[in-house]
Structure 1
Amino acid sequence: MSSTTQNIVSGASKITTEEASLLKQPKAVWAVFFACIIAFMGLGLVDPILPAIAENLHASHSEVTLLFTSYNAVMAVAMLITGAVSSRLGIKWTLLAGIVIIALFSALGGFSNGIWALVGLRGGWGLGNALFVATSLAAIVSLSNSGTAKAIILYEAAIGLGISVGPLLGGWLGAMSWSGPFLGVATLMVVAFIGLIVLMPRSNTKNTVKSKISLLDPFRALKHRSLLVFGIAAALYNFGFFTLLAYAPFVMGLDEHGLGYVFLGWGILLAVTSVFMAPKLQQWFGTIKSMCAMLTLFALLLVAMGIWTSTQWVVITAVILAGALLGNNNTLITTAVMNAAPVERATASAAYSFLRFIGGAIAPFLAGKLAEWYNSQVPFIVGAVFVMISVVFIGMNAKHVKHVDHVKSGH
């Protein structure tokens, strides 16, 4: 009887320890976590003001979608240098450099008075984000004391919180002026800068990257078929992701506050599923099967948006529900990438992100142009086709990626 009680107690304490280990992190991890939230606010902050920017700067919808294209294009190319930069500057100073660049270009964006100047400045913002995003994932994974899988969940939670709070803040600031969200990001980035300077000790950045990374390392990493497969799949699925993000605001017929609330719902579901649901799916069905299921459902949602584009409640519901599918998929694919190839995590992240953001660069402008050439339904249908191609592509290369389910994520 006593041994049974002992087993129950030890089992209960083990579960409690496992749950606590995610939250029991060094201060450095929480500093990066907080900065991540603010950095990713920048993505959602701009969403509610896209129609307002088009109106105030007398720009077409496809010109306004270039705010996402320039941002993602610069980020894609800059991802290739992040490893080389962070291995020389160290993680702390690379993160701080990224924050300074984001703050500078978002502030300048708030004071610009033409769409092309704004598109160019968003490109500069993308450079800062590349330095920050690639390094922050590597920093959280390296500095965390709870293993890769839990560190990635923490990272995805920061993304989710940033993306969900961003539109609400963007809608509120954007209702005052379209430039408000740009100046808001700059201000928040100053707070993040102070947080990292104070909370992230320099000693924790030493030896995080074992050796200096060459500019060619991300390309060499893509020789690993598994990493290449995930990168191409992410580029394809990002056509759907950024069609939703960059073009859906134009067809919802809502003001800044309304768009802010819709994307808040989207972001909350993205955050909750990335932290709580994705690990369960991974455990029950495996990474690859779960990923393909989420992408297929996302494609179906895009098809629904394409068919019922003029029915407001369908588009709003589809956008919010898409958050759940994208939250799951983001965690699943990020975990898979970290375990895909025997290369430095910073290098794997840079190589994968380079391919992923190429898709994110082409998709927004393509969506705007397809709507101008044909009608507002076509961008969503085309986005759905690209997402389904990513599922087929993963299926065709299953033998190269199936090993990610057998890699121990805790190490």
Structure 2
Amino acid sequence: MTAAPPTETLERPSILHQPRAVWAVAFACVIAFMGIGLVDPILKPIADQLDASPSQVSLLFTSYMAVMGVAMLITGAVSSRLGAKRTLLAGLAIIVVFSALAGSSSTVGQIVGFRGGWGLGNALFIATALATIVGAASGGVASSIILYEAALGIGIATGPLVGGVLGDISWRGPFFGVAVLMAVAFVSIMVFLPATPKVARPTSLLDPFRALRHRSLLTVGITALLYNFGFFTLLAYTPFPLGMGPHAIGFIFFGWGICLAVTSVFVAPVLQRRFGTLPVISAALVAFAADLAVMALFTEHRPVLVVGVIAAGAFLGINNTLITEAVMLAAPVERGTASAAYSFVRFGGGAVAPWLAGKLGESVSPHLPFWVGAAATALGVVVLSTGRRVLAHVDEHEPASHSRDEAEVLSAADA
């Protein structure tokens, strides 16, 4: 066939030479992923100004992650019936409304509730964004994935920084800032993204539950649930023992986000090719557990906590990339269904950990949340090791970013 030369020619300029629709969706992705760490720098100011405890304020993460996890079960059914563009716009509109309501709140309970609504919008948007970028981008599937991962990394890295800058003005600032930026993204997608057709066969609400019957997928999901205890303990609890202002917290977690972005895009694929998927995931989790244990030992030493937070980004970046890829290959089910089931299980850990960490820190010991996070992450390594036989096939495939065909990537949109 003579198709290879033209493909190669098209792929070279594709990263920067994209249709306006792609840049509109990519911009919205950046803002959506900002939401993960945006509230980090303002947790303590919210607690101080609204007279709330760390466990109460940590519910901002709990409601957000719990609703997002449950909503992941329905995103496939919704997008397959509404079409990608309408689903994206619905998700963005929900985020605009609930982030603005959170900024207008007068109690922690109100913010917690509105963050739950924000999580619903984020689930609808994120679950559809990759498929939309793949469908609209020039240069092939690999270029589309790079764009999506770049947007993810920028969003995660800049979320705490933006939260810190706006939070220095008022704790309400980050919420209103997201509402404005998402409104801009809404208009951009409405104008620049063409209408997208509905799929031929709508997804069933029961498909993700059926997928969890496969031990391989369930093993990866439980592993992710356990390491998310450590992840969200770090994210939601660390600002309290640090005891610093929003700007400083924002810069610290900006460093964390930069490490996460760099290792997820550049380091993880290299380690995977050399050592294999499961060994690298296990090593990254062991390193993260050790990092949390050091933070538990030296919780009163601010420099140790700062270094621990930033170093954790490197371990989490490697793990997030490879464990998501393992999900795509774990079970003989559609990739979108596998990802929805996995997201539902793992966000259970993300939902419980912030509240538990705050409660243990205020009621028992400031060291204990980090010990619990370290123990849960280490237990995740044990769980993963029990599934080595049923997951052995994941390294029989080429890395997903290089080998997936377009249909596989489109169905993996909610990874």
- TM-score, length-normalised on structure 1? 0.91
Deviates more, 1:239-248 or 1:329-338: 329-338
Pair 1:265–1:181, CA change in 2 (3 A): same
Deviation at 1:79, TM superposition (A): 0.9
Contact 1:138 1:346 in 2 (8 A): no
Aligned to 1:333: 323
Deviation at 1:227, TM superposition (A): 1.9
Aligned to 1:394: 384
Indicate the SS of the match to 1:58: coil
Distance 2:130 2:375 in 1: 30
Contact 2:12 2:139 in 1 (8 A): no
Indicate the SS of the match to 2:51: coil
CA deviation digits over 1:142-201, x for unaligned, max 9?
656667666545433222211111111111111111100000010110111122223322
Letter of the structure 2 residue corresponding to residue 285 of structure 1? F
Aligned to 1:177: 170
User: Are residue 315 (structure 1) and residue 279 (structure 2) matched?
Assistant: no
Deviation at 1:344, TM superposition (A): 3.0
User: Are residue 71 (structure 1) and residue 72 (structure 2) matched?
Assistant: no
Letter of the structure 2 residue corresponding to residue 395 of structure 1? S
User: Are residue 355 (structure 1) and residue 345 (structure 2) matched?
Assistant: yes
CA deviation digits over 1:178-228, x for unaligned, max 9?
1000000101101111222233222xx336x44101111111122232222
Pair 1:396–1:284, CA change in 2 (3 A): same
Contact 1:301 1:318 in 2 (8 A): yes
Match of 1:198 among 191, 195, 198: 191
User: Are residue 374 (structure 1) and residue 354 (structure 2) matched?
Assistant: no
Which segments of 5 or more consecutive residues in structure 2 lack a partner in the other structure? 406-415
Distance 1:35 1:160 in 2: 13
Which aligned pairs between 1:123-272 and structure 2 lie closer than 5 A? 123-140=116-133, 151-202=144-195, 205-206=196-197, 209-272=199-262
Distance 2:135 2:372 in 1: 38
Identity %: 60
Pair 1:127–1:268, CA change in 2 (3 A): same
Contact 1:154 1:275 in 2 (8 A): no
Contact 1:153 1:331 in 2 (8 A): no
Pair 1:152–1:14, CA change in 2 (3 A): closer
User: Are residue 90 (structure 1) and residue 101 (structure 2) matched?
Assistant: no
Match of 2:335 among 341, 345, 358: 345
Pair 1:288–1:18, CA change in 2 (3 A): farther
Letter of the structure 2 residue corresponding to residue 183 of structure 1? F
Pair 1:14–1:189, CA change in 2 (3 A): closer
Deviation at 1:384, TM superposition (A): 0.6
Letter of the structure 2 residue corresponding to residue 255 of structure 1? G
Pair 1:317–1:20, CA change in 2 (3 A): farther
Distance 1:304 1:370 in 2: 18
Deviation at 1:329, TM superposition (A): 1.1
Distance 2:65 2:225 in 1: 11
Distance 2:285 2:147 in 1: 22
Deviation at 1:256, TM superposition (A): 0.7
Distance 2:44 2:144 in 1: 37
Deviates more, 1:23-32 or 1:75-84: 23-32
Aligned to 1:61: 54
Distance 2:7 2:85 in 1: 34
Deviation at 1:125, TM superposition (A): 0.7
Deviation at 1:50, TM superposition (A): 0.3
Contact 1:27 1:199 in 2 (8 A): yes
Aligned to 2:269: 279
Letter of the structure 2 residue corresponding to residue 335 of structure 1? E
Deviates more, 1:309-318 or 1:38-47: 38-47
Distance 1:44 1:311 in 2: 23
Distance 1:294 1:20 in 2: 34
CA RMSD of aligned residues (A): 2.3
Letter of the structure 1 residue corresponding to residue 312 of structure 2? A
CA deviation digits over 1:317-369, x for unaligned, max 9?
01011111111111111222223233333322211111111110000001011
Distance 2:369 2:53 in 1: 16
Pair 1:53–1:332, CA change in 2 (3 A): same
Pair 1:176–1:112, CA change in 2 (3 A): same
Pair 1:130–1:115, CA change in 2 (3 A): same
Distance 1:369 1:405 in 2: 41
Distance 1:346 1:280 in 2: 26
Distance 1:124 1:192 in 2: 18
Pair 1:60–1:98, CA change in 2 (3 A): same
Deviation at 1:119, TM superposition (A): 0.7
Pair 1:393–1:18, CA change in 2 (3 A): farther
Deviates more, 1:132-141 or 1:321-330: 132-141
User: Are residue 302 (structure 1) and residue 292 (structure 2) matched?
Assistant: yes
- TM-score, length-normalised on structure 2? 0.90
Q: How many residues align?
A: 398
Match of 2:106 among 110, 113, 121: 113
Deviates more, 1:29-38 or 1:82-91: 29-38
Distance 1:23 1:310 in 2: 46
Distance 1:145 1:349 in 2: 25
Distance 2:15 2:263 in 1: 16
Distance 2:184 2:122 in 1: 16
